[in-house]
Structure 1
Amino acid sequence: MTEVPLIAPLWTVQDVSEYLRVPVQTLYSWRSSGTGPPARRVGKYLRYRPDDVLRWLESLDDGAA
């Protein structure tokens, strides 16, 4: 029997909002301006791959002085 590899579940907008500690509306604003983490539409819902969110976060300049 072939084993199916485990795939991380997709994150909802609420999941990403909680993870990044930003309001849901901020994610929608980032999406409309093309600056936020990449999301995919699954039916009428937005879903995020955890790896994409983490990669996007790591790509940001921390701006620390």
Structure 2
Amino acid sequence: MSMDPAPQAADAKLLSAWLTREELADELGVTNKTIARWHTEGSAPPCTKVGKKILYRREAVQQWLISRERGQL
């Protein structure tokens, strides 16, 4: 009896709009520790927690980045 790959494909599609803390750190070029510090300081992008896993919605991270834009550095 073979397993239907459809549930795995559905899971991948369901989570395709979300990033793990590790993926977010990689995309932003910072460490996981930096993201954890941002959470402590209250300056991290919004997230959701599922069990022990912390997930960031790509769209929310993009909005967070836009909110941090400045005219000149």
TM above 0.5, yes or no, is yes
Task: Provide the identity percentage.
Answer: 30
Aligned-residue CA RMSD (Å): 1.7
User: Which has the larger strand fraction?
Assistant: 2
| Normalised TM-score (structure 2) | 0.71
User: Which has the larger helix fraction?
Assistant: 2
Could you list the structure 1 runs, at least 4 aligned residues long, displaced by more than 3 angstroms after superposition. none
- Distance in 2, matches of 1:33 and 1:27, equals 10
Q: Per the alignment, in what secondary structure is the counterpart of residue 33 of structure 2? A: helix
Larger of the two Rg values belongs to structure: 2
Pick from 3, 6, 13 the counterpart of residue 21 of structure 2.
13
Q: Which residue of 2 aligns with 1:62?
A: 70
Aligned length: 60
| Normalised TM-score (structure 1) | 0.79
The structural deviation recorded for 1:62 is 3.0
